[in-house]
Amino acid sequence: MPLVPTYIETLAPYQAGRSPTEVCREFGLDRAVKLASNENPFGPSPRALTAISNSLSSLAGYPSGGAELRAVLAGQFGVRTANVIAGSGSEGIMSNIIRTFLCDGDEVLTVDVTFIGFRVLAQSRGVSYRTVPLRNWRLDLPQLAEGVNERTKIVYLANPNNPTGAFFTRAEFDAFYARIPERVLIILDEAYYEYAKDAPDFPDSMHYRYDNVITLRTFSKAYGLAGARIGYGFAHEALISNLLKVKLPFEPSSLAEAAGIAALGDAGFLAQTLEANATGLELVTRELRAMGVEVLPSHANFVMTLWPSAAAADGIVRNLMKAGIIVRPLSAFGVPTGVRITIGTPHDNQLLILALSRIVREQEYAVCKQ
């Protein structure tokens, strides 16, 4: 009997984007910007940083398990604390969902181009992970509904989706929901909610408080707290109470919880982040398209670009890295011709546009000369 089950032995682990330090070392650069992991380029709210400093003095004590943050979120979103969970990032909560709801023989269903972290978690549980293709780079909800069978326990939907940046609409979700049996748990992963929430037909999942729907959100993106590991979820209290049994009792950390509460209280910082992102997104999309690059329309803090071949996409990633700009190749997402680029500060965006216009010209030149 092997020590490690086959499904772990064969698991392709999640690979995080490369760090600026690594890239500087490899290419002998003084500075590199990371536009690879959809982080907030402005960092966290100063209020979150102050809250972290203030809570340092209580580090000797165990945290509350997220009780205070849950109460604040309940107040802010008009639900009861019993409907809220807080955890170590939304991925921490996803991991609890996997452990709480899946049994041997169950199946998880999603689309083939989406957040890799969820696939890794589901496969580490040894259950079947089934996907349906995207349609025109959007989630094909009718096909997903069609794909549900008697073994399906969880349907995972990232909205907006990563790496495409597209969202499905209210009408699409309504039609989908009507076809899903109640015994199937629908995860609505809204990691990029803040960026999309004001789009007219974005289906804010707070309007879908059905018994079998769980919303996941995070402080890692618009709130600039990816390093703190803090996220939250909303669901029916029966789901939350079972998740709480499984969750590590002292997750999230007290520093992360304090940061999250303070970040929620800084509406001004969030508004500035969203405004800068909207301007940067518009600029990057327009400038890259003007260079002839295929850029998918996005409602998040990143864009997915498509290149004529996998070799061209690799060349773009590598040449940008040499210029001190780290972006995300999408072969691990199943799109070898794709490259995802996070929207940065106005300065980062200008650097990207300049570097990319030079690289596109040179890369085309190299292709012509062959």
Ligand X SMILES: Cc1ncc(COP(=O)(O)O)c(C=O)c1O
Q: Nearer to ligand X by C-beta: 158 or 360? A: 158
Q: Least distance to ligand X from the beta carbon of 25, Å?
A: 24
Residues 6 or more apart whose CB falls under 8 angstroms from that of 290 comprise: none
Q: Least distance to ligand X from the beta carbon of 174, Å?
A: 22
226: contact with ligand X by CB under 6 A: yes
Q: Least distance to ligand X from the beta carbon of 147, Å?
A: 20
**Binding to ligand X, residues 129-148 (CB under 6 A):** none
- 346: three-class secondary structure by DSSP: helix
Q: Nearer to ligand X by C-beta: 196 or 320? A: 196
Give the dihedral sign, CA 124/89/345/284: positive
231: contact with ligand X by CB under 6 A: yes
In the block, residue with structure tokens 């040449």:
319
Span near ligand X by CB under 6 A; candidates 66-74, 86-94, 133-141, 286-294: 86-94
Count residues binding ligand X (CB under 6 A): 14
Q: Nearer to ligand X by C-beta: 185 or 359? A: 185
Q: Single out the residue of 45, 81, 220, 342 in contact with ligand X (rule: CB under 6 A).
A: 220
- Gap between the Cα atoms of 149 and 136, Å rounded: 24
Q: Nearer to ligand X by C-beta: 101 or 115? A: 115
Contact 226, 43 (CB under 8 A): no
Q: Nearer to ligand X by C-beta: 191 or 239? A: 191
Q: Within 13 Å of residue 282, how many CA atoms lie on the same side as its CB?
A: 5
Which CA distances in Å does 24 have to 39, 158, 307, 359? Answer: 19, 33, 26, 19
In the block, residue with structure tokens 């992970």:
129
83: contact with ligand X by CB under 6 A: no
Query: The tokens of 218 are what?
Result: 């995070």
Query: The tokens of 304 are what?
Result: 């997915």
Q: Nearer to ligand X by C-beta: 70 or 363? A: 70
91: contact with ligand X by CB under 6 A: yes
- Gap between the Cα atoms of 108 and 130, Å rounded: 6
Span near ligand X by CB under 6 A; candidates 89-97, 122-130, 198-206, 345-353: 89-97
**Binding to ligand X, residues 141-200 (CB under 6 A):** 158, 162, 189, 191
Name beta bridge partners: 305.
295, 339
**Binding to ligand X, residues 317-356 (CB under 6 A):** none
Query: The tokens of 151 are what?
Result: 């073994």
- Gap between the Cα atoms of 244 and 87, Å rounded: 10
Residues 6 or more apart whose CB falls under 8 angstroms from that of 311 comprise: none
Shortest Cβ contact with ligand X: which residue?
Answer: 89
- Gap between the Cα atoms of 261 and 141, Å rounded: 34
251: contact with ligand X by CB under 6 A: no
Helix (H) / strand (E) containing 320: helix 310-322
Site string for ligand X, 292-321 (x = CB under 6 A): ------------------------------
Chain-centroid distance, C-alpha 240: 21
Span near ligand X by CB under 6 A; candidates 84-92, 98-106, 133-141, 236-244: 84-92
Q: Least distance to ligand X from the beta carbon of 153, Å?
A: 19
Contact 18, 36 (CB under 8 A): yes
Closest by CA to 288, choosing from 335, 352, 367, is 352
Q: Nearer to ligand X by C-beta: 213 or 360? A: 213
Q: Single out the residue of 32, 33, 34, 38 in contact with ligand X (rule: CB under 6 A).
A: 38
Q: Nearer to ligand X by C-beta: 228 or 359? A: 228
Q: Nearer to ligand X by C-beta: 218 or 363? A: 218
Alpha-helix residue ranges (DSSP H) falling in 32-129:
46-55, 67-77, 89-101, 116-124
Q: Single out the residue of 123, 218, 342, 363 in contact with ligand X (rule: CB under 6 A).
A: 218
Instruction: Return residues touching ligand X (CB under 6 A).
Output: 38, 89-91, 115, 117, 158, 162, 189, 191, 218, 220, 226, 231
